[in-house]
Every structure is written in C-alpha cells, then in structure tokens.
Structure 1
Amino acid sequence: MQLSNPLQTELAKHKGVEIHGNSLRITFMWRRMRCRETLGLPVTKANIRHAAQLRAAVLHDIKMGTFDYARHFPESKHAANFSNTRNERLKALAERYQALKAVDITPDTESRYATAMNVCLDLLGPDRLASVLLPEDIQKLRVDLIEERATSTVNHYLAALAGFLAWCESNGYSRPGLAAACTRFEMSDREPDPLTQEEFDSLITKGCLHRVDSAAITLAVYTGLRPGELCALACEDINLDSGTLQIQRAITSRGTFKLPKTGKPRTVMLLPPALEACRTLLQWATGRKPLAVTVHLTRHESRTVAITPLLTPGTLARKKQVNHWFVPTAWNTKWAAIQKRAEIRPRRPYQTRHTYACWCLTARGNLAFISKQMGHKDFTMLVEVYAKWMDDESPFELERIWKNIKKNRTPQSSTDFKALG
C-alpha cells in the first residue's frame, strides 16, 4: 500500500505499529513470543495514533503482569492459543487455596502459612495473573527473599509457595514448572552442640537457683524432649511406678496445644536422673488444680483434657498474674539466664535434646531404641544428624561385635573354628 508522506511520517513515530494489507497491525512480545494483531482499522493519522495507544496499553499490562489476551483481542484467533490456562489473579487464587488448605492444618500452622504467602505475593504482585507467571519470576523472588531473611525462613516461604503453585498448575490456572522453580536454598549443616558433663554440672550447681529449675534442666537433658513437649508436660503424664513419661502434646509459642511433631504420642522410658527429676517436680506440683486445655488435632478436630501443669511460671514468679504454662519463648528466656549464671557457652534450648542423643550414642545405645525415645519416625535422621558421635566410637565397635559373636556362637563341633578361638 502506497502511503502519503504525512502518513509515512506519522507511522515512523510509533514503534510496533505497521501496515498489513489495507489495515493497521500492532506487534509486541509476550511470553517470549512475537505477537501480531491486525486491528481492522484503515490507515489514517488518527487510527495510527489510536493503534499506538492500544499497543502502549498492552505493553503496560504485560509489564504489570495483568495482560489478558482475550480481553484485549476478543476476536483474535490467537487468543485460543493461550486459553489452556484460566485467567485468575494471584490474590484471589491464594484466598481460595488457603481456605482449602486450612482443612488439614491447625490454626497456628495456618497463620504461619498465611504470613509466608503474603510475603511472596507482595513481591510477585498480588494482582498479577497466574497464567503469565514464568519460572524466571520465581527465580527472581528467591533472590529478593534471601536478601534480608534467614535461610530457614526463606525455605519455609518457598515451601508454602510451592504448594500453592502446584495447586494452581493442577487446576489449570498457571503453566507447569512454577512449583519446581521454588528451589530451597542449601543450608550449612548445623552440627549438634551437646553439653559436656562439666557444663551440665555447672548448669545445675551454678545456673539454677531453685530445685524446680535444676529438675527441669535434668529432665530435658536426660529425656531429649523438644522444648514444646517439655513445656506442655502434665503431672498426669508421669508414671513413677513404671518409670515412664507419656508425651501426648506440645505447646506453641502462642500458647496453643497440638500433637507432638510426628503427630503421634510416645512413651519415654526414664533414666534414673530423669526419674528423680520427675519426683521433685511432682512434689512441687502438689496442690495445683487440673486445667482444661484444648489440644488441636486438625483444623476442625480437637479434644479437651483436664491436666495439671508440671512446669509453670507461677512457681518462682514475682508477679501475681502469670501464665499457667511455659511457652517455648518464655523457656528460651529462662534457659538463657541459667546459662549466663553457669558461665558456659550459650546454646539454644534444643541442644538439650542433642545432648541426650549424643550421650546415648557415645554410650553405645541401640539406634532403634534411642530413635523411639526421641520420637523420630525412624532412625535415618539419627544416623544423618549424629553420625559424628557414632564415628567416634567406631574403633571400639569391631572389638565389641567380635566379643558378642564369640560369646553367642554355638560351634558345630568341638574342633569348629579353633583357629578363630
């Protein structure tokens, strides 16, 4: 088509606007593909400017992540090429997903998921269409997240987002591969940092100012309970006659009760120091009244039990109004003060659990038994986390095995294996 000079001049001003037959056409890049859309408009100066404005609107929506091909070009045959995904905005999808996810988790877990989702969606853009997200967007999100956050926090956020994106993919709201792009960051192995016997003695003799505190620390070290399990103990959980402790619940930092980490109760057989610590704690609990608490099993399932706190801030508190139960954050504060008075290197409260595991392993305890005591699903984790303490004993293990083989072996004849005797 031959154009007059004024039309050629006007057309040259607007990138991405061109002539196709007797009509105007705009071109743009979307999803790394070159798209061309004929507008059916005759070539005039006014229409050239209109086409340029339309293209600018398309580019703006693409940049903002809100471009909907069918909305801009409802008559286009190309719109069908992108109809394999249902155009929905991330914020609306996240609200529906979280409501469905909540059925299987407790309110406390739901709150943590919501925090993770909100952070990720704010960075991605809550009004973006899920259908336009690329793996590159998720990779950039990982970069943004790790800049100012701890690796463990970022990995939690990415895990929550991956579940959401997998749901989007399976329901046709987004392209495949987004969930797979939520690659967690590798974390440097945090080796257990157990207490030495000398440090433990310092905690008991110098760090603890009251028998209740020394008994609580002793119980933590000689049972390997998680801090949330320790704080949630009730007098009814202890059986002094059988020397056992029932772990039936844990308490969260918000003061809500839930099942232990594996979701199953367990029985812990008490070593003599732990049994004596239980006796002390039960003596100090004399006169306390049982309290009704709700233990959350799932979002919509819970049970109410009447139990008596074994450890309570009220024992040594100066304030009149205190909580009936320790929560992990309050226990952290007490633990830090005890370590400071004991003048030992500070550790997280979880290291009392590591101490129990390492002491049992260096005493050559049975792996399956130790794992069951600690509430692991199997002893795989025990081997992975505490391999160093197992390796430290390996030079003596062969000799111990051979002694037991010789002791238990029944020779087939009087001369059998004499050379090995």
Structure 2
Amino acid sequence: MGRERTAGSGLEAELAKHKGIEVHGGNIRVVFMWRRIRCRESLGLPVTKANIKHAALLRAAIIHEIKTGRFDYSRHFPDSKNATNYSNVKDERLTALMARYKPLKAVDITPMTEEKYGYALDICTELLGADRLAGILLPEDIQVLRTQLIATRAPSTANHYLATFAGFLAWCESNNYCRKGLSAACIRFAMIGREPDPLTKNEFKQLLSKGCLHAQDAAAITLAVYTGLRPGELCALAVEDIDLIAGQINITRAITADGTFKVPKTGKPRAVLLMPPAVEACKTLMDLVADHAPSEIEVYMNRHESRMESVTPLLSPTTQARKKVINLWFIPTSWNTKWAAIQKRSGIRPRRPYQTRHTYACWCLTARGNLAFIAKQLGHKDFTMLVEVYAKWMDDESPKELEQIWKNISQL
C-alpha cells in the first residue's frame, strides 16, 4: 500500500508532483474520494514519467466529474469490483430529487396533506443541505437530522417530519439515488409523555354538569366518550349518518382543519354501535338541528376523486351562534377551542380532545370488552394497536381476567 520505492530519483520526483498517484504492485494506481469513500484503482501501467502524467490527468478528470455530478465509475474502471458496488447509485442533489418526488407523492394525497408533507420535506432537506448529493448520505447524517429536529420540536412533530422524510428516502433507495438503509435510519422518538390519559367517571360528570353551558355541548361530549370517534369524524357527522333503529352511526367522512371533507383515516367506512348514553346524545343532537336544511358538501376519496352529498350537520356552530354568518360545520380546531373552554369551566385537568377517544378505549378495556370488537369500533385494522397503546389498562385487569378464565374452565 502507499508509495513503493521506484527506480530512479526522476520517477520519485515525478510522483511527488502529483497528488493521489501511487505505486502498488509495480503498477500505477489513482486514489480519490467519492461519496465519502476512499477509492484506489490500479491502472495496470508500469511506472514511467509518461504513465504518471497520464494517471494525473485521468485523476483530474475524475475529480472534475465528481464535482459536477457526472462521474460514472464503470466507464473509467469497467473491470473493478467497485464498479458494481458503487456505480448503481446515481449522483443527484436533494433539491432536484425533491422537486421530482413531490408531484409523484401528491397524486395519492389531499391538497392539505400535500401542504403538510411539503413543509416537513423542505425542513428536512434544508437541515441536511439542499445541494448535497443523495448518493453520499450516510445513516449518520440521518441520525444528525434526528438530533436537529428534536432539539427545537415536540416529539410528535419530529416524528411526523421523520416519517414523511423516510417515505422520500425509500423512494430514493428504490430508484438507486442513495444507498440502502437511509429510510430505516429515520427512527421515531418514543412518545412517553403522550400515553392515553382517559377521563375518570367523576371528571366526565364534571365536564357535563359544570363545563357545558348548552345541551349540544353535553350531547357532543357524551357521544365522543361513548363512541371513541376521532375529532374530525365527530365534527363531520350528519343526521343522515344516524340509524337509531339499528343503534349505530355510520362513519363515512371526516373534516380537516381547512374545512375539507375526506374519507376516514383508514379510507374505509365503518359502523359504530351505540351504547345507551350515545343513543340519547344522538337524539338530543338530532332534535337541536331538526329545522336545519341539508347542505351540499364534497367528500374527497383521494386527490382526483370525490363524491357529492346532501347532508344535515349533526353538530353545527349555528345551533348556538348569535352571529348571522357562521360556518355550518365545526372543524377540529374550532372544536379544540370549545373543548378547552368546557374543561376550564369544569375545573378538571386539561387534556387534548383526542383523549375522549382514549377514554372510550380504556373504559371498554377495563370492562373486559372483546379486543377485536373494540378495535373494529375504533376503526383499527386489528387489535395490535390496542395491545401496544393500552397495555397498561389490560395489565391492571390481569388478576380478574385469570379468575374469570378459571371460572369458565371449571364449568366446562
């Protein structure tokens, strides 16, 4: 390795003039950095002044091609094993790849989701360096990105950015723009402080008796707690979704922060069976909007397909509003504001509106409900998430569960 002794001081002097030219095994080889890897390639040429100069010119051409993003390893060294290992990755800058990726991703998401994704992708690209070549990125660079994201952001926000950027990196990997394993390096942060924080029965009673000033608010919170609907699904409910005879609500849409209607998170409708308090809440809400006329809305299935519906909002700001001009539908952000005010009046510890969904899940689990049934009610594909998110509530019941199992076995 390195510079071997060459015959004659003239050759040694010639070698000394040129950086990155070595003698190895009696032949000349060139040394250069490419994609943060030190590459050494023998030219199979004997050590002569002419060959040393030739090697220097070749190396200069290679360095220029690397800097301009046009270097093709296999063209210069077709017989090298490195040609196979390195040349399958194309030299493209992050900013150019991002410009191609965004329109391809946008085909499958709504305009609002596209905006959120675009912001996350731009932040990650800026932190990594927009002009950097994707092919030279290492897992270490993604680890540094993680530390930069979490330094000034909440874990939930950082995780959203990492998940979005991981999708971009997976696309780069599949198209040979970067080395494998980068998307896997986008490891999410543990959400220790965001575990379910369900309402107690006493807190729920306080919300209704002290926090709610209107029958609509009490009925809406009751419905949320006893169905586990997501806030966007709750706000998008229509009178036409309620089937009191069957005792169920048909969840076919959700509403976003900008007032756009879309299909539920899983992309599929579901029927949520109603407990008696939820049935009464539905009756109250339906009575409050009995004189309201249906409105035409557009529900997006994806970016390019939508359906028109004529429906009556079940939970509408117009029911309580004093203003003449007001939105017909609550959106998640306006419901957040109302929820915060109700909590403050009730005197309970503040929580996010999403905790009503957690309350439903935890109450059902502590009542030893069937996992598959609860998961279906919540709109999960299976009960894997229940086990992961709500294990604490299941573990608390394990002694009673064992007693129940033994009782049933003994009766067989």
Q: 2:268 aligns with which of 264, 268, 274?
A: 264
> What does 1:173-322 align with in structure 2 at a 5 Å threshold?
173-188=177-192, 190-322=194-326
Name the residue aligned to 1:346.
Answer: 350
Name the residue aligned to 1:412.
Answer: none
Q: 1:69 aligns with which of 64, 68, 71?
A: 71
Which range moves more in the overlay, 261-270 or 25-34? 25-34
CA distance, structure 2, for counterparts of residue 161 and residue 149 of structure 1: 16
Tell me, yes or no, if structure 1 residue 99 matches structure 2 residue 136. no
- Quick check: 1:16–1:28 contact (8 Å CA) kept in 2? no
Deviations 1:285-306 (A, max 9, x none): 1121212212111222221111
Change (3 A) 1:70 1:358: closer
CA distance, structure 2, for counterparts of residue 388 and residue 58 of structure 1: 59
Deviations 1:26-45 (A, max 9, x none): 9653323056899xxxx9xx
Which range moves more in the overlay, 184-193 or 228-237? 184-193
Name the residue aligned to 1:32.
Answer: 37
> What does 1:35-184 align with in structure 2 at a 5 Å threshold?
68-69=70-71, 83-184=87-188
- Quick check: 1:248–1:259 contact (8 Å CA) kept in 2? yes
Change (3 A) 1:261 1:75: closer
Aligned pair count reads 391
CA distance, structure 2, for counterparts of residue 33 and residue 386 of structure 1: 50
CA distance, structure 1, for counterparts of residue 380 and residue 22 of structure 2: 70
1:157 Cα offset (Å):
1.6
Name the residue aligned to 1:419.
Answer: none
CA distance, structure 1, for counterparts of residue 395 and residue 140 of structure 2: 43
**Which sections of structure 1, spanning at least 5 residues, go unmatched?**
410-421
Name the residue aligned to 1:389.
Answer: 393
Which range moves more in the overlay, 283-292 or 94-103? 94-103
CA distance, structure 1, for counterparts of residue 314 and residue 165 of structure 2: 39
1:190 Cα offset (Å):
3.1
Could you say what secondary structure the match of 2:374 adopts?
A: helix
- Quick check: 1:90–1:127 contact (8 Å CA) kept in 2? yes
- Quick check: 2:300–2:306 contact (8 Å CA) kept in 1? yes
- Quick check: 1:37–1:76 contact (8 Å CA) kept in 2? no
1:227 Cα offset (Å):
0.7
1:346 is aligned with what amino acid?
P
CA distance, structure 1, for counterparts of residue 233 and residue 173 of structure 2: 38
- Quick check: 2:22–2:31 contact (8 Å CA) kept in 1? no
Could you say what secondary structure the match of 2:107 adopts?
A: helix
CA distance, structure 2, for counterparts of residue 232 and residue 178 of structure 1: 39
Name the residue aligned to 1:413.
Answer: none
1:274 Cα offset (Å):
0.9
Change (3 A) 1:68 1:150: farther
CA distance, structure 2, for counterparts of residue 121 and residue 210 of structure 1: 48
Name the residue aligned to 1:329.
Answer: 333
- Quick check: 2:230–2:354 contact (8 Å CA) kept in 1? yes
CA distance, structure 1, for counterparts of residue 358 and residue 21 of structure 2: 70
Change (3 A) 1:16 1:377: same
Which range moves more in the overlay, 387-396 or 246-255? 387-396
TM-score by length of 2: 0.82
1:75 Cα offset (Å):
7.1
CA distance, structure 1, for counterparts of residue 22 and residue 255 of structure 2: 70
CA distance, structure 1, for counterparts of residue 21 and residue 9 of structure 2: 13
Could you say what secondary structure the match of 2:192 adopts?
A: coil
Change (3 A) 1:83 1:406: closer
Q: Percent sequence identity over matched residues?
A: 62
Name the residue aligned to 1:362.
Answer: 366
CA distance, structure 1, for counterparts of residue 383 and residue 199 of structure 2: 22
1:155 Cα offset (Å):
1.9
Deviations 1:352-405 (A, max 9, x none): 111112222222322222222222212222233222222333333333334444
Change (3 A) 1:186 1:362: closer
CA distance, structure 1, for counterparts of residue 130 and residue 389 of structure 2: 39
Deviations 1:247-268 (A, max 9, x none): 1111111211122122211111
Which range moves more in the overlay, 395-404 or 187-196? 395-404
- Quick check: 2:31–2:38 contact (8 Å CA) kept in 1? no
Change (3 A) 1:17 1:195: closer
- Quick check: 1:117–1:157 contact (8 Å CA) kept in 2? yes
1:216 Cα offset (Å):
0.7
Deviations 1:78-131 (A, max 9, x none): 996754322222222222222222222222322222112111111222222222
CA distance, structure 1, for counterparts of residue 99 and residue 168 of structure 2: 10
1:152 Cα offset (Å):
1.9
Aligned residues: CA RMSD: 3.6
CA distance, structure 1, for counterparts of residue 168 and residue 403 of structure 2: 53
Could you say what secondary structure the match of 1:161 adopts?
A: helix
1:17 Cα offset (Å):
7.4
Change (3 A) 1:189 1:206: closer
